[in-house]
Chains A and B, each alone.
Chain A
């Protein structure tokens, strides 16, 4: 560092003597030595005009002076260095316009890696529900390819995109030389189709093979797209063999993504698979608090408690509710009371669960593709018994209907039959993943 600086200062001293003051300040202001590579001195200049001019006019003079100062110098090159970002003093940011601002700040996406710099690990709220996911992410950052591939799954709005982009941003920060790329599987598909149309399939292959960390979001969209899956398969093999980290996300476990090739599934599960479940109440409260701090907005504790209790599951909905509260507060110029907030988010808040037994039976029989009436029938066919037991289990667990009344509504059965069914499903759930998945899907349909 020091050496480069003193070398360049010697050159500047020589040059200054040979030039007029105006010439010297115009062409040599903001220049420095960027690096010295094996005798090649690379001089950083502020723009292309200076670059051309130094090369055309002063190249020999600078080179001569460099060689006098250091005998190792062989040749001289110029490169354009972008000026350092000006620090923005927040106090100077004048409210010139009284217009509201477009929310552009969140939309700066780096075109080289497609990452949104807003997603960082610091702004990722860690709670009991996503502890494991966070730990896996940290492990990958410290020891790339420790888990390869790393696969996150969980329903929409649980922070998958945030987490996987944060990994990309962090790795980029820790090792700037690493090539990181983030994309959604949708974009991959579009790129592939376009490359096919234009006959550029080889370029397409090359394009994605150069990355050290490859992140693909929302893998489930590749369902049924066989040719794209095949392309991803080859890309995966290439990256994996070359010891490059790969990260995927999806809304469900790879084994349950429909119409996904088995060879892809088996590769997805070969690394580490992490589930991001529904955030718990405390985590929801922490997330709201964190998001409101980021937006410079203070919410009373009672409001936070209310929001955390009223909106379940989806972090995006929490954010949406927070946004409308902030917007309304700014519009009204005062804090909102709880009643107003309740009114504001009435569409987002969880509905009080009320579903008729008939609806549950209908959904379940549709799901398992059996006649609705079979559920209440006396038949003991295996393909009917299971749906019937699941219906009982769901009615009991999710809707709190009493055992006798469930039994009565499903074909006049005894309450002990219902108890037995519920116990059976509960036990099966412990070691039957398939069943768990089915239940989640049925619940989603309800």
Chain B
């Protein structure tokens, strides 16, 4: 095998593949990535048997061949090499010679024969949407998924069509994030639950890609195709709760504030957060203000009052600091609205004048 390829292309692909390659696997070859030179492309593959990726890169193939090797070694060599242009890979008696301008390396390889193929879902259930929108949808919600493994359906992002939207939802049962993306072509999509670990990785890979992503699913897995890349993930066999029923319909108070003010106040008060992450909101209707306060008996306390439009009843209520600050990344408007449904009841945060994102968070018990 001998192949020449642009440095930034192979470096990016190896970076993506490294994150997906298996970490704790019984079969050593699964912790490797596979480089396969055929015709006029170099294929990079990795899988941990839960999710798999295959990236096809245009390359100058001098002789075909396939090899498996440790991705971290290759990545750190490539990123530190001084070549600005081409990289040459040549397999010589089980060792991969990498030639990057003045930098050279010989890397031990493994037999790629035991490396599995990355499945491609073939199904009638197929739809597509702009990759940018898909990434926005995933990134707006996945951080709300449950980290535990007891409820796989809550450790997932739920994706389903609703009218002309494609809806992305995640919840760990303490907060819930929902993002709606206009996607007329996704009307017939089957609802699916994709493990958040996999789908957040997929969104990362697709981060800078323009054009459309094709999504094909069956009852066991889902494949995502963009030109040159395909990723297949397991889907969770389960039911997502019918969460729309718990979205409060009546509110007792609401506050609309500038996002920057709010973010700054959270950052400031974050310093004084106690071990329970308690964050106290006090709404003052007459003062048209929202006071945000944290208190730590060992360290001290901090508070910031931000002005905004406040209506309804005065209210003091405690939330988990992390849960509140988490959602800021999903709000891209200048101001945001907090709607309170009462003591002991959920708070709904939305961008002002924009219904595409909704964040529901429960208060602290005490």
A residues contacting B by CB (< 8 A) are 22-23, 25-26, 47-50, 52-53, 56, 80, 82, 86, 88, 93, 97-105, 107-111, 327, 330-331, 333
- Bound together, the chains give a CA A48 to CA B175 distance in angstroms of 32
The answer, among B52, B232, B239, B323, for a CB contact under 8 Å with A108, is: B239
Complex contacts, A48 vs chain B, CB 8 Å? 119, 220-221, 232, 234
- Bound together, the chains give a CA A31 to CA B338 distance in angstroms of 51
Contact status of A330 and B346, CB under 8 A, knowing A22-B27, A23-B114, A107-B245: no
Q: A49-B52, A56-B117, A102-B171 are in contact. List 9 more A-B contacts (CB 8 A).
A: A22-B27, A25-B27, A47-B234, A49-B116, A52-B116, A100-B363, A108-B239, A108-B242, A330-B344
DSSP class of B's interface residues: helix, strand, loop or mixed?
Answer: loop
Contact status of A80 and B220, CB under 8 A, knowing A26-B26, A52-B117: yes
Q: How far in angstroms is the closest Cβ of chain B from A55? A: 10
A selection of 10 A-B contacts at a CB cut-off of 8 Å is A26-B49, A48-B234, A53-B116, A86-B150, A98-B276, A99-B362, A100-B363, A102-B360, A102-B362, A108-B241
**B171-222: which residues lie under 8 A (CB-CB) from chain A?**
171, 173-176, 191, 220-221
Number of interface residues of B (CB under 8 A): 47
- 9 nearest A-B pairs in the assembled complex, by CB-CB distance: A107-B241, A26-B27, A104-B241, A100-B362, A99-B174, A107-B242, A53-B116, A49-B49, A22-B27
Most buried by B among A26, A50, A98, A102: A102
Q: How far in angstroms is the closest Cβ of chain A from B272? A: 17
Q: How far in angstroms is the closest Cβ of chain A from B112? A: 13
Complex contacts, B252 vs chain A, CB 8 Å? none
Decide yes or no whether B359 CB sits under 8 A from chain A. Answer: no
The answer to whether B344 touches A107, judged by C-beta atoms less than 8 angstroms apart, is no
Decide yes or no whether B353 CB sits under 8 A from chain A. Answer: no
The answer to whether B344 touches A331, judged by C-beta atoms less than 8 angstroms apart, is yes
Q: How far in angstroms is the closest Cβ of chain B from A336? A: 14
The answer to whether B25 touches A26, judged by C-beta atoms less than 8 angstroms apart, is yes
Complex contacts, A50 vs chain B, CB 8 Å? 49
Complex contacts, B365 vs chain A, CB 8 Å? 98-100, 330
The answer to whether A99 touches B319, judged by C-beta atoms less than 8 angstroms apart, is yes
- Bound together, the chains give a CA A53 to CA B47 distance in angstroms of 13
Decide yes or no whether B364 CB sits under 8 A from chain A. Answer: yes
Contact status of A101 and B173, CB under 8 A, knowing A47-B49, A111-B191: yes
Q: How far in angstroms is the closest Cβ of chain A from B23? A: 14
Decide yes or no whether B333 CB sits under 8 A from chain A. Answer: no
Q: How far in angstroms is the closest Cβ of chain A from B146? A: 10
Q: How far in angstroms is the closest Cβ of chain B from A58? A: 11
Complex contacts, B176 vs chain A, CB 8 Å? 102
The answer to whether A110 touches B239, judged by C-beta atoms less than 8 angstroms apart, is yes
Q: Which A residue sits closest to B147, measured CB to CB?
A: A96
The answer, among A23, A104, A110, for a CB contact under 8 Å with B173, is: A104
The answer to whether B27 touches A107, judged by C-beta atoms less than 8 angstroms apart, is no
The answer to whether A102 touches B220, judged by C-beta atoms less than 8 angstroms apart, is no
- Bound together, the chains give a CA A333 to CA B365 distance in angstroms of 10
- Bound together, the chains give a CA A47 to CA B222 distance in angstroms of 12
The answer to whether A331 touches B171, judged by C-beta atoms less than 8 angstroms apart, is no
Decide yes or no whether B320 CB sits under 8 A from chain A. Answer: yes
Decide yes or no whether B50 CB sits under 8 A from chain A. Answer: yes
Contact status of A109 and B239, CB under 8 A, knowing A56-B117, A88-B150: yes
Q: Which B residue sits closest to A87, measured CB to CB?
A: B150
Q: Which B residue sits closest to A112, measured CB to CB?
A: B239
Complex contacts, A25 vs chain B, CB 8 Å? 26-27
Complex contacts, A110 vs chain B, CB 8 Å? 239
- Bound together, the chains give a CA A239 to CA B242 distance in angstroms of 29
**B236-263: which residues lie under 8 A (CB-CB) from chain A?**
237, 239, 241-243, 245-246
Complex contacts, B220 vs chain A, CB 8 Å? 47-48, 80
Complex contacts, A103 vs chain B, CB 8 Å? 246
Decide yes or no whether B76 CB sits under 8 A from chain A. Answer: no
The answer, among A23, A47, A99, for a CB contact under 8 Å with B364, is: A99
